[in-house]
Chain A
Amino acid sequence: MSKITRRKFLAASAAGGTAIMMAPTKKAFAAGSFEGFPDGMGVLVDLTRCVGCRTCEAACNKEQKLPEPALPFDDYSVFDEIHHGNQKRRTTDKAYTIVNRYDLKDSDEPLYRKIQCNHCNEPACLTSCFVNAYTKTPEGAVIYNSHVCVGCRNCMIACPFHIPAYTYHSVLNPVIKKCIFCYDTRLKEGRPPACVESCPQQVMTFGKRKDLMVIAHERIKKNPDKYIDHVYGEKEVGGTGWFYISSAPFEEAGFDVHLPKKPIIDNVKDFLAIVPVVLTVWPALFTGFHLLATKGKSHGHGDDHSHDEQEGH
C-alpha cells in the first residue's frame, strides 16, 4: 500500500514542480522495492494439466467482449500456425489469452502453454509508462487506464513476456489491450477470471498468491517425478501474480528462462540515481568552469559582449 500512496503523493508533488524539482522524487521513487500486495490474488498454472482445448480462449473472448475470432475456438489447426518464420501465436488486441502447443524432446505427448498477462508484482509496463496509465491493484491485477494513454508503446517494449498489444488500426482512439485479470467484471468481486472458471482441467487455480505459492511447491514436492523443480514466476522479474509449474524444462515450452530475478525497473535505477546528481552538481561545476576559463579574458577576442559590439558599427 505504501507504494501507491507514495506514488500518488509524488504525482501530486510533481504536478506543481518543474522538471528540476521532480528529479529527486524520481530517485526516491525508484529506490524502494515492492514485493507485491500481501493479499494480492494470483493464479497457479499447472501445465501438466492442460490438454489444449482452448476453452479459456473462448471464455476470455466472451467475457471481454472481444471481436469474433478468425477460426472457431475448437479448431486446433491454430496450434500449427507459424508467424514471422518461427513464432507461435501471441496475444493480440483481439485475444488476451492464447494457448500454444510445444513438442517436447523427451516425450511423445506435447505440452500446452497458456499465455496471458502475468500480472507482475512490480510490472515493467507500469514503471515504463510516462503517464502512469497502469495500476497494480491491491487485488493483484495490472489494469490500464486508456483515457490517458498517449500511445508511445513503451510498455510493449518493456513487457518481458511480450503481452500488451495495441489497436494500431484505430484512427482516433488507439489504445493498449491486454488481459486485466477480469478486474472490472470479476476480480473486484472476488471471483476468478473467466478463463480460470471455464477450464475443464483446472489448469489454473485461483487464490491468494502466497497461498498458491505454497500449493505449487507442495505439488512439486508430492510429485517430484512429474514436475520440474521450479515455479516460473515465483522470482522471475520480481515475481508474477500468475505463475507456472511444468513437467518439462520451461525453455522447451517457450518460456524465457534468462529473465532477471529482479524487477525490470531495477535495471533503470542506476540511471535514475544519477539524475539528481547531474541536476545539482552540473550547474555548479560548469559555472565554475566558466569562471575559470574566462578569468582575465573578458576583454579578449570576442568576449561575452562581442555581439553587442557589432551594434556600434
Chain B
Amino acid sequence: MVNASKQLITGLGVLLLFSVLSVSCYAMDYPEEVEIDSLANLYEPVIFDHAMHVDATEGCAECHHHTTGTPVLNAYCAKCHTGDVEMDVVACQDCHSADPVSPENLHNPKPGYSYHNDQPNLKAAYHLKCLGCHREVDGPTGCEDCHAKTEAGDKFYHSGEFAPKEDAQHGAEHE
C-alpha cells in the first residue's frame, strides 16, 4: 500500500502538471518515431514507428503497463495499480535496467519494489514485448526484420563475410 500511495502522489503531480484528465492515452503527447539505440551493438538501432503501433494496438497499456494512465491489463499488476494515473516515466528504459544482474543489482527486489522482483532487463523487455506480440499477430519475427546486423554482429554470429569456410565444416562433423 505504501507503494500505491507513493505512486498516487507522483501520479497526481503528473496530472496537475499536464492538466490532462482524459483516461485515454491517445490524448497524450507521444513521439511519432523512436530510435531505440541504447543497446545497439550486434545490430543497428531500431527505428520504431511509434505512431503506427499506437494505431495498431488497442491501448497504451499493452506496452506501457500502468504508466500511461490507462487501466493495466495484467490482473496481477492491477492489484496495486488501480488508478488511472499517468506517470512521469513511460520509456521502457526508465524502469527496465540494461544490466539488472550487475553485482549491485543482485540484491533484488529493491526496497519498496517487492512485487517487481521478476522484472526483465531492458533488452528482454523490448524483445519479449515486441516479439511476443508479433508472434501473436503474425508480425515480422526475424531478427533482421527489425534491425540490420552490424559487422560486429556478423563476426559474433560467424555469418556474412565471417561465415565458416568449407574446411571448417569438415572439422565439426566428427560427432
Direct contact of A and B (CB under 8 A): yes
Which positions in A face B, CB cutoff 8 Å? 49, 51, 53-55, 58-59, 61-62, 67-75, 83, 92, 94, 109, 168-169, 189-192, 196-197, 199-202, 205-208, 211, 215, 218-219, 222
Contact A200 B159 (CB under 8 A): no
Partner among A69, A168, A196, A199 whose Cβ is within 8 Å of the Cβ of B158:
A69
Contact A219 B157 (CB under 8 A): no
Q: Which residues of B contact A74 (CB under 8 A)?
A: 143, 149, 157, 159
Could you tell me which residues of chain B, from 140 to 169, have a CB within 8 Å of some CB in chain A? 141, 143, 149, 156-160, 162-164, 168-169
Interface residue B52 (Cβ < 8 Å from any Cβ of A): no
User: A92-B175, A192-B101 are contacts. A222–B76 as well, Cβ < 8 Å?
Assistant: yes
Partner among B102, B117, B169 whose Cβ is within 8 Å of the Cβ of A70:
B169
Interface residue B82 (Cβ < 8 Å from any Cβ of A): no
Partner among B76, B157, B174 whose Cβ is within 8 Å of the Cβ of A169:
B174
Contact A202 B159 (CB under 8 A): no
Contact A215 B164 (CB under 8 A): no
Q: Please tell me which stretch of B5-13, B62-70, B86-94, B123-131 contacts chain A, meaning at least 4 of its Cβ atoms lie within 8 angstroms of it.
A: B123-131
A43 to chain B: closest CB distance in Å?
A: 10
User: A68-B168, A92-B175, A201-B127 are contacts. A58–B120 as well, Cβ < 8 Å?
Assistant: no
Q: Can you pick out 30 interface pairs between chain A and chain B where the beta carbons lie within 8 Å of each other?
A: A49-B124, A49-B128, A51-B135, A51-B141, A59-B156, A67-B168, A67-B171, A67-B172, A68-B164, A68-B168, A70-B164, A70-B173, A71-B169, A72-B157, A72-B159, A72-B163, A73-B156, A73-B157, A74-B157, A94-B172, A191-B101, A197-B101, A200-B123, A200-B131, A201-B127, A202-B121, A202-B124, A208-B106, A218-B118, A222-B76
> Considering the chains assembled together, what is the distance between the CA atoms of A13 and B108 in angstroms?
43
Contact B124 A53 (CB under 8 A): no
B124 to chain A: closest CB distance in Å?
A: 3
Interface residue B103 (Cβ < 8 Å from any Cβ of A): yes
> Considering the chains assembled together, what is the distance between the CA atoms of A160 and B163 in angstroms?
34
Nearest residue (CB) in A for B103 is: A190
Q: Which residues of B contact A61 (CB under 8 A)?
A: 158
> Considering the chains assembled together, what is the distance between the CA atoms of A109 and B136 in angstroms?
11
A-contact bits for B24-55, CB 8 A (1 contact / 0 none)? 00000000000000000000000000000000
Contact B124 A199 (CB under 8 A): yes
> Considering the chains assembled together, what is the distance between the CA atoms of A207 and B101 in angstroms?
7
Contact A215 B118 (CB under 8 A): yes
User: A191-B101, A202-B121, A222-B76 are contacts. A70–B128 as well, Cβ < 8 Å?
Assistant: no
Q: Which residues of B contact A211 (CB under 8 A)?
A: 108
Contact A202 B123 (CB under 8 A): yes
> Considering the chains assembled together, what is the distance between the CA atoms of A83 and B173 in angstroms?
10
Contact A73 B158 (CB under 8 A): yes
Contact A58 B157 (CB under 8 A): yes
Partner among B103, B128, B149, B159 whose Cβ is within 8 Å of the Cβ of A201:
B128
Contact A53 B143 (CB under 8 A): yes
> Which 9 pairs between the two chains have the least Cβ-Cβ distance?
A202-B124, A70-B172, A190-B103, A72-B159, A200-B127, A73-B157, A70-B169, A74-B157, A68-B168
Q: Which residues of B contact A94 (CB under 8 A)?
A: 172
B161 to chain A: closest CB distance in Å?
A: 11
User: A196-B101, A200-B123 are contacts. A73–B108 as well, Cβ < 8 Å?
Assistant: no
A36 to chain B: closest CB distance in Å?
A: 18
Contact A190 B128 (CB under 8 A): no
Could you tell me which residues of chain B, from 97 to 123, have a CB within 8 Å of some CB in chain A? 101-103, 106, 108, 117-118, 120-121, 123
Contact B106 A190 (CB under 8 A): yes
